[in-house]
Chain A
Amino acid sequence: MNPALQGAQYRLQKGSAERTTRAVEETTQPRHSLLVRVTHWLTAMAFLALLVTGLELVVSHPRFYWGETGNVNTKPLFKIPIPSSRHLVPTGYGYLLPDQNGWSRYLHFQSAWLLVLTGFVYVGVGLSRGHFRRELFPARPDLSAKRLMRSVAEHLRFERPGAEEAWSYNVLQRLAYLLIIFVGFPLIIWTGLAMSPSFVSAFPAAVNVLGGQQSARTVHFFLTGALVLFLLVHIFMIFLAGFWSRVRAMVTGRAASR
């Protein structure tokens, strides 16, 4: 056995906190910076709050339209077959869901601020430190069709990643994270702002480019679905990789030495 590890075990057996810390230092290495960890968990919290309150808001009018306007007198793009929390929508169910729009809206918009401000810090500081180039940009060779297909196949086989993979994201992971950070979140923020009458009065292009207020609302809803899909896949992949070791790494910043 590695003499350093032997020494670490001895110190662990001794049971003192200070000796345990040194043991941790010797068997783990830094993996995620404080910036990444703090912004990751703040974003997760904000996103969950936005999702729950957002779904509550959908319940008050479970129909989606396209173009500029839409209401129960116009033909919807599609209806969600759930009861509503308001009388206005004839859902066919004989009852109303609880109406929680008041605090839901307050929390939705406050969480939106948390998401946006955290995002600015993450992207701003991350860019200045070269975080994205180092950790998330795929290497050119990995973008070949052959390597991409191989990565897709590995993922579809639900293969448990090797220990090395904890230290460098694979190409599919990199592309997914980049897509979420630089396309998914900006788009959902934009479509959200496009539903603000005040914001749109100052920046009408924000909603006009999308085709109208109802289009913004519908796209916002579909983007929610896409982000939720990402979240589910993300959690499943963490499971495959070793849930608690990965979560611990994203909390403490350290992972078991390679």
Chain B
Amino acid sequence: MSKLSRRQLVIAGVVTAAGAGGLALAAKIAGRYGLVPPDSGGIYGPGETLTYAAQRLLTRHSLAREFSRSQISRKPLMNEVAPLGADFQRLQKEGFADWRLNVDGMVARPASFSVAELKSFPRSSHITMIQCEEGWSYIAEWTGVPLSHVLQLAGASPQATHVVYRSIQPDWWESMDMADALHPQTLLAHEMNGGELPVGFGGPLRMRVTRQLGYKSLKYLTSLTITNNIKQFGKGLGSSEPEAGYSWYAGI
């Protein structure tokens, strides 16, 4: 190969500058259209952003696979959970009559729903798979009130970008973007396989996000906060998962 000529160096410089400029422009556009995940800082940022942006563009309205009744796992796996604490046990002893789901943030009508109220709302069911990040999976029937219905009842603002949801377990919280929040399969589940949602599987109330790994389907839901500034929660990475080293977006 001959020595680099000045012309080749200039061309290389122009191409690099154009490439860098193009990337910066793409990043700016991606940010405006909500294609950048909150945990996009750091050395794994490029991969996370590419994944989240690609999935958001490809799968906005897609439905997770729904299975037939005969495909329901006979022995679904109850993942281990840290001990649930005195508050939970007190509520459990009273049959969760005093369990409340608080809804606040960018809503016209903040609310606090009991489990009985949530059960009285329109209900939706689907037979879908839970896939854990460890690699195992099971299929179950989930019944609950669509999150979109609850957001509508509370008068969620059209400017909202994320829904933050919390568990009774301290330091365990999650969030999803509006594409998932308004998705028809996203449920506040209170029943599993036709019966009460067992405590081991998140009872009395768990979120069901069907197009992401199981850890987004948070157990023991106690509150929802509708927001347009996800960065103000916790360490600004979107959920407690990136704070523990895991991806905020778990659709892969």
Q: Report B88-130 residues with CB < 8 Å from chain A CB.
A: 129
Counting contact residues on chain A (CB < 8 A from B), the size range is 35 or more
- B46, chain A: closest CB distance, angstroms: 7
Number of interface residues of B (CB under 8 A): 44
Closest B residue, CB atoms, query A57: B135
Kindly state whether residue A70 has any CB partner on chain B within 8 Å.
Answer: yes
Q: Which residues of B contact A214 (CB under 8 A)?
A: 137
User: Least Cβ distance of B250 to chain A in Å?
Assistant: 8
Pick from A65, A103, A199, A201: contact of B245, CB under 8 Å = A103
B136 touches A198 (CB 8 A): no
Which residue on chain A has the smallest CB distance to residue B63? Answer: A201
A197 in contact with B213 (CB, 8 Å): yes
Q: Is the interface of A mostly helix, strand, loop or mixed?
A: helix
Closest B residue to A34 using CB positions: B1
Q: Given known contacts A197-B251, A199-B252, is B47 in contact with A69 (CB within 8 Å)?
A: no
**Residue from B129, B135, B250, B251 within 8 A of A68 (CB atoms):** B129
Bound: A254/B139 CA distance, A: 56
Contact A61 B47 (CB under 8 A): no
- Mark A96-130 against chain B: 1 for CB-CB distance below 8 A, else 0: 00000111011101111100000000000000000
B172 within 8 A of A: no
Among A102, A110, A197, the one with the most B-chain Cβ atoms within 10 Å of its Cβ is A197
Q: A102-B246, A196-B251, A198-B212 are in contact. Are A73 and B133 (CB under 8 A)?
A: no
* Alpha-carbon separation in the docked complex, A112 to B58 (Å): 18
Give me 23 A-to-B residue pairs in the complex whose CB atoms sit less than 8 angstroms apart, sorted by A's number.
Answer: A21-B3, A63-B136, A68-B137, A69-B129, A70-B136, A71-B73, A71-B76, A71-B137, A73-B73, A88-B134, A88-B136, A101-B246, A102-B245, A106-B48, A107-B44, A109-B48, A109-B247, A110-B47, A111-B47, A198-B62, A199-B59, A204-B65, A207-B65
Q: With A113-B51, A196-B251 given, name 9 new contacts (CB 8 A).
A: A60-B134, A71-B138, A73-B77, A105-B133, A110-B48, A197-B211, A197-B212, A198-B211, A198-B252
Chain B residues in the interface with A (C-beta under 8 A): 1, 3, 44, 46-48, 50-51, 55, 58-59, 62-65, 67, 71, 73, 75-77, 79-80, 129, 131-139, 210-213, 244-247, 250-252
